[in-house]
Copies of this chain bind each other. A is one copy, B any other.
């Protein structure tokens, strides 16, 4: 199953135009990433707080299809993909009542925090990538099979 994170739009997520401020949508995607890591058994506090190995975002992009309003119940699905020995992408889809409202991608590079030099992804991240990738492939196959039937 594709990892999915539920998130209600809160008042501070919005701006004076009455909808979610664009950069906050990327923050919500990052929350989904954090929750997915936690779900796979990773200790979030040591992962994100002054770690020795980190996975900074080197690229992000987001497309908005519809506005999001305060109180909206978002479902954020996430599929990570290893794209090198030291980097991975995460693809996100945000839906409200099964309608896609935004899509995003973040690209992460694994670095040694002390010298900021790239290094190979550690085992816990490879496990997380495989677990979520396989799940995603399974879901896609099932979906395809249903469509064929």
Contact = CB atoms under 8 A, between A and B. Distances in A.
Interface of A: 8, 10-12, 14-19, 21-24, 26-27, 30-31, 34-35, 38, 43-45, 47-51, 54, 56-64, 67, 69-72, 106, 113, 116
Contacts of A106: 22
Q: Which of A8, A11, A19 has the most CB of B within 10 A?
A: A11
A11 B34 contact: yes
A55 to B, nearest CB: 9
A23 B30 contact: yes
Describe A's contact surface by its main secondary structure. mixed
B62 A16 contact: no
Considering residues A16, A31, A57, A63, which has the most beta carbons from chain B within 10 angstroms of its beta carbon? Answer: A16
A50 B48 contact: no
B60 A45 contact: no
Chain B CB within 10 Å — which of A8, A43, A62, A72 has the most?
A62
